[in-house]
Structure 1
Amino acid sequence: MNSIGLDGFLLLLLLLLFSNGAPQAIIKTLPGYSGNLPFKLETGYIGVGENEEIQLFYYFMESESNPNMDPLLLWMAGGPGCSGLYSIVYDIGPCTLDVENFDGSLPSIILKPYSWTKVANIIFIDAPVGTGFSYANTSRGYSSSDIKSTKDIFTFLRKWLLNHPMFIKNRLYIAGESYGGKLVPMVAMEILRGNEERLQPQMSFQGYIIGNGLTDSNIDFNARIPYAHRMALISDEYFELAKISCDGKYYNHDPNNVQCTYALQRIQECLSRINEVQILEPSCANSAPKPDEFGWPQTFLKDNSIDHLVLPTAKQDCHVPNYVVSNNWANDRTVQEALYIRKGTITRWRTCYNGISYKQNVESALEYHKILIKKGCHVLVFNGDHDMAAPYMGPLKWIRILNLTTDDDWRPWLVNGQVAGYTERYNKNDFNLTFVTVKGAGHSASWYKPKECLTMFHRWLSRHPL
C-alpha cells in the first residue's frame, strides 16, 4: 500500500471509530427566542484525556454564507475560564441577550447583524476543563495548565473534525481573545506538528488570529503605564519618575525599590477609577459580581483582570452587568435541556471562571510565534485602542522582536469612508502578519465595534488590504 493509500486507510478507520463516538445535537430553538433560530447551531461533547475523563463542551455555528467553502474557525475565549457562550453573546457570535429589558426573569435573545458567522464556520469551545459546561469524570481531571489545555484542545479538534469530515478540507484558523491569545500559537504549533507527523486527519491549517490578547506578561503588562501616559491619564512628571526609578519595569517591580513603589502609587491614584477595559466608559466595577480569579498576576491596578468586562452603554451611568444576564440564562433548566447539557455534570454555570484548577506554566508565547514564522502562516493581531488592560502597545513591541519586514506602513483603514483604526503589515518569507487597531474600541474590540471588526475580518480572510 503506497503512502497516499495508507493515509486514506487510516483516515477511514478513524472516521469509523469516531463517527458515533461523540453525541451532538442540532439546536433549532432556544428559550428566549421566538420561532426557529435563523442560524444553524450544534452543541456536543468531545472526550479527551486519559480514558476520555475530560468532556469538553462546544457550540458550533455554520457559516451563514457558504459553509462548504468558507473557513473553519476554532475560537478560544479568555480567562482562563471564560465560556464559549461568552464569545457568542458578548463578542463575535450571531446573538446576544437583552440587557436593557432584563428584569431578573429569563433574558430574551436578540440577533446581531455583524456576526463573524456571516463569513466563517465557528467552533466555540468551553476550555479548559471546568469552564462553562465542560466537566471531568474524576477530580484529578479538573487540574489543567497552559500546556495541558493546549494538548486537550488539539485532541478535541482532531476528534471534532473526524466527527465532521465534511469540514476537514475547509481552511482552518485558530483564534482567541484575551488570555486565549496566549494559547492560540501553542495550539497552532500542535496542529503543524501533527500534520508533519502525518496524524489524521491532516488539517488545512492556514493561520491564526489574536484579539486583545496576552502574549508575554512582561511585555503586555509593562505596556499599561506608557499607554496611560500616551492617553493623558497620568502626567509627564509621574511617567518620567516611574520610567527612571523603575527602569521601565512596572510589572513585577522590585518591592525594595522605594522610589519606584512611590511612583507607581501616584499612578495608581490616577488610574484607580478608570475602567481599564474601555477607558471612555464609566467605571461600574462595584455593581457587577466578578469572577474570583482570572490568573492575571496583580500589578499596580486594583483589578488586573483583562477579562473583567462591563457592557458598553450610551448612558453615562451604571447598568445591569453582563455576567448577571448570561448566568441567569445559562442556568435556566429549560435552556440547559435545549442545549442538551448532561444532567448532574456541573453545579452552577458561570460566564467566566467556575472554580477551575489552572496553572499558568507558559509565561510567554513569544517563542511559539518565532517558530511559526518559519512555517508560513497568515496572521491577524488586533486591539481596541481604548483598552488599557491589553493595550495595543504590547503587541507592537513583541511584533518588533520578531524582526519581520514591514511591507505596508502604518496607515488608516476605512469603513464607509471613515477611519476605523490603523494598520501595519509585516512579512518574512511565507509568514505574513497584519496588525490592526480598532478606533474607539475596548476589550474586546468586536463588542464595541462589531461592524468594523467584521469588515476587518472579512477583508483579511479575503487577503485584501484593510
Structure 2
Amino acid sequence: MIYNVCCSFHIFLLFALAIFVQISSQAGTSGSKVEVLPGFEGPLPFELETGYVGLGETDDDMQVFYYFIKSENNPQKDPLMLWLTGGPGCSSFSGLAFQIGPLGFKIEEYDGSIPKLILRPQSWTKVCSIIFVDLPFGTGFSYATNLTAQRSDWKLVHHTHQFLRKWLIDHPEFLSNEFYMGADSYSGIPAPTIVQEISIGNEIGLQPRINLQGYLLGNPITTGKEYNYRIPFAHGMGLISDELYESLQRHCKGEYIEIDSRNKLCLRDLDYFDECHSGINLYIILNRYCEDDSPKKHESLGRRSMTQKLEDSFNSRLRVPDIRCRSYGLFLATQWANDESVRKSLHIREGTIGKWERCYTSDFKQQISSSFEFHENLSVKGYRSLIYSGDHDEVVPFMSTQAWIRALNYSIVEDWRPWLVEGQVAGYTRSYSNKMTFATVKGSGHTAAEYKPHEGFALFSRWIAKLPL
C-alpha cells in the first residue's frame, strides 16, 4: 500500500511543513470581506471573503488566492470544506460559479458589459462553509515567481495541505468545525492523497490540528482505466450496436487505452465507435452536442491526456462560443474575471496577474497514476466518504467508479436502493462497511451537481448531516 511504501518520505516532508508553518504563520495570509460584486444587483446575501495565503519563503514567492463563503446556516457549528475542481489545472472558481456555489452567470448574449451574476438557490453553502482555491498555481488569481516548478500532482497535494493549515491559523474560529475535503473529475486523483497527507500530519502532531472527518468526490477519475468503461457504457445506453460491442470485445479484449498499433481490427472498431459518437455530448449524453464543448478522438482520451484534452476545451476563449453550449458560461466567466472593477471588488493585488485563466493546462506533471491505494488507506483509518456519479456521464462512467469501489472489497451495509427527492427517484445508492457511500444522480452528467443542482444539494446536505440519503 502507498502508506507503507511512501510513509517515511511523506513524514519527512510533513515535518518540513510543520517547521515552515511555525516560522511563517505570522505573515503571508490576508483576507478581506466582499460585500458587493460587479454584475450582481445589491449587496451579497451571504458572507464572502477573498484573500491570499503565502506558501513561499518570501511574500511574493507563492501566493494562493481563495474565495471563502461562510455557511448560511450556522457557520460556528456547520462543517468546513475545501473544494478542488478537476483539470488538471483548473481553478475551483468553477465549483463556485458552475457547480456548488451561491452565484452563477446569467446566460445571455454578451454585449461587452460586465456579465450578470444570479443567485443559485441550491448552493452547498446553505449547510457548509466552503473554501474555493485557485490551485494549482497558474489558475485564477494565484501567482508564483517560478510557475512551472510548482505544477505537478504532488506539488498540488502539498500546496493544498500547506494552504489549509496556514488558513486555519488565520481563522482559528473554524478549528473545531468538522473538516471535509471535496473534489470532482480529475481531482479524484489528488484529493484522496491530500486527505491522507492531512491525516498523517495530524498523527505526527502538525499544528494546527485539522478536525478531519472525511471526503467526497463527484464523477472522480481514480484508476486511469476509466476510458475502458466507455464502450460497455455506450452499449448499455444504446449508442452502439450489439455487433460493434461484441466486435470491440473480441478484438480489443477490454483494453481501449493502450492499444497495440498492430491490432488493426481493434483500431478499426474504435474508429467506427468514434464515428457513432461524432454527435454525442460525452459530458452528458442526454444534452445537445456542441463542438466547442467536445473532446476529440479516442487516441486523445487515455487518462494522462484525457483530462487535459477535456479541460482544454473549456479553457478561456478568444472567440465567443454558441450561447447554447456549456462553454458559453465559461466564456462569460473569463470576461467577468478580467474586468478591472471585478478585480478591485475581489481585492486582487495589482500587477500580479495579467489575463485571468480559469484553467492553465500546460506543463502540469501528472505523477500519480491512480488514487485507488489512497482510498484503501483511508478506508482502514475509518474516514467517511461519499462518491457520486452522474449516470449519463461518459467521460467517467459510473461503471468505472463502481468497479474500483468493489475492488476495495468491503462488505455492503445497505444494498442498492433508490434515493428520493420530493417523492421521485433522484438516483440509486449503496453503502459499505468502510463508511463509504456510493450514489448515482439520475439523468445527470459530468459533473453531477452542475446538471442536477436540486438533486445534488439534497444528496450533499443529507450526507454532510449524517442522514440517510
Q: Which amino acid aligns with 1:71?
A: P
Deviates more, 1:277-286 or 1:319-328: 319-328
2: distance between equivalents of 1:275 and 1:235? 18
Aligned ranges 1:429-448 → 2 under 5 Å: 431-448=434-451
Distance 1:400 1:294, change over 3 A: closer
CA distances 1:38-57 after superposition (whole Å, capped 9, x unpaired) = 01001111112454622111
2: distance between equivalents of 1:375 and 1:346? 41
Q: Match for 1:134 among 142, 146, 149?
A: 142
| Partner SS for 1:107 | coil
Q: Match for 1:231 among 219, 237, 260?
A: 237
Q: Match for 1:89 among 97, 112, 119?
A: 97
Q: Match for 1:349 among 346, 349, 356?
A: 356
Q: Which residue of 1 aligns with 2:190?
A: 183
Q: Which residue of 1 aligns with 2:340?
A: 333
Q: State the shift of 1:253 in Å.
A: 1.8
Distance 1:86 1:160, change over 3 A: same
Does the aligned pair in 2 maintain the 1:129–1:356 contact within 8 Å? no
Q: State the shift of 1:204 in Å.
A: 0.5
Q: State the shift of 1:172 in Å.
A: 0.3
Distance 1:51 1:193, change over 3 A: farther
2: distance between equivalents of 1:405 and 1:235? 35
CA distances 1:242-264 after superposition (whole Å, capped 9, x unpaired) = 11211101112222211111111
Q: Which residue of 1 aligns with 2:161?
A: 154
Distance 1:460 1:330, change over 3 A: same
Does the aligned pair in 1 maintain the 2:292–2:313 contact within 8 Å? no
CA distances 1:150-186 after superposition (whole Å, capped 9, x unpaired) = 0011000010010100001100000101111211100
Q: Which amino acid aligns with 1:159?
A: K
Q: Which residue of 2 aligns with 1:29?
A: 36
Q: Which amino acid aligns with 1:200?
A: Q
| Partner SS for 2:364 | strand
Distance 1:58 1:350, change over 3 A: same
Q: State the shift of 1:352 in Å.
A: 2.1
Q: Match for 2:119 among 111, 114, 117?
A: 111
Does the aligned pair in 2 maintain the 1:98–1:109 contact within 8 Å? yes
Distance 1:96 1:432, change over 3 A: same
Aligned ranges 1:406-425 → 2 under 5 Å: 406-425=412-431
Q: Which residue of 1 aligns with 2:85?
A: 77
1: distance between equivalents of 2:460 and 2:203? 28
Q: Which residue of 2 aligns with 1:4?
A: none
Does the aligned pair in 2 maintain the 1:276–1:388 contact within 8 Å? yes
CA distances 1:301-340 after superposition (whole Å, capped 9, x unpaired) = 9x95268569xxxx99557712210000000010011111
Q: Match for 1:457 among 436, 455, 460?
A: 460
Q: Match for 1:305 among 310, 319, 339?
A: 310
Distance 1:139 1:79, change over 3 A: closer
Segments ≥4 residues shifted beyond 6 Å: 13-16, 287-290
Q: State the shift of 1:138 in Å.
A: 2.9
Q: Which amino acid aligns with 2:67?
A: Y
CA distances 1:127-150 after superposition (whole Å, capped 9, x unpaired) = 111111111023554x42111110
| Partner SS for 1:359 | coil
More helix by share: 2
Q: Which residue of 2 aligns with 1:201?
A: 208
Does the aligned pair in 2 maintain the 1:408–1:425 contact within 8 Å? yes
Does the aligned pair in 1 maintain the 2:372–2:404 contact within 8 Å? yes
Q: Which amino acid aligns with 2:391?
A: D
Does the aligned pair in 2 maintain the 1:66–1:119 contact within 8 Å? yes
Structure 2 runs not aligned, ≥5 long: 1-17, 316-321
Q: Which residue of 1 aligns with 2:289?
A: 283
Q: Which residue of 1 aligns with 2:217?
A: 210
1: distance between equivalents of 2:392 and 2:304? 21
Percent of residue pairs bearing the same amino acid type = 44
1: distance between equivalents of 2:51 and 2:86? 21
| Partner SS for 2:182 | strand
Count of equivalent residues: 441
2: distance between equivalents of 1:239 and 1:418? 33
Distance 1:66 1:15, change over 3 A: farther
Q: Which residue of 1 aligns with 2:319?
A: none
Does the aligned pair in 1 maintain the 2:69–2:130 contact within 8 Å? yes
Q: Match for 1:269 among 275, 285, 292?
A: 275
2: distance between equivalents of 1:50 and 1:21? 10
2: distance between equivalents of 1:365 and 1:47? 28
| Partner SS for 2:381 | coil
Q: State the shift of 1:100 in Å.
A: 2.6
1: distance between equivalents of 2:65 and 2:209? 23
| Partner SS for 1:374 | helix
Q: Which residue of 1 aligns with 2:385?
A: 379
2: distance between equivalents of 1:280 and 1:306? 20
Q: Match for 1:390 among 373, 382, 396?
A: 396
1: distance between equivalents of 2:326 and 2:270? 31
Does the aligned pair in 1 maintain the 2:28–2:55 contact within 8 Å? no
Deviates more, 1:159-168 or 1:236-245: 236-245
Does the aligned pair in 2 maintain the 1:80–1:295 contact within 8 Å? no
| Partner SS for 2:183 | strand
CA distances 1:177-236 after superposition (whole Å, capped 9, x unpaired) = 111121110000110010000000111000000001111112x12111111111011111
Does the aligned pair in 1 maintain the 2:227–2:303 contact within 8 Å? no
2: distance between equivalents of 1:274 and 1:78? 21
Distance 1:46 1:277, change over 3 A: same
Q: State the shift of 1:86 in Å.
A: 1.3
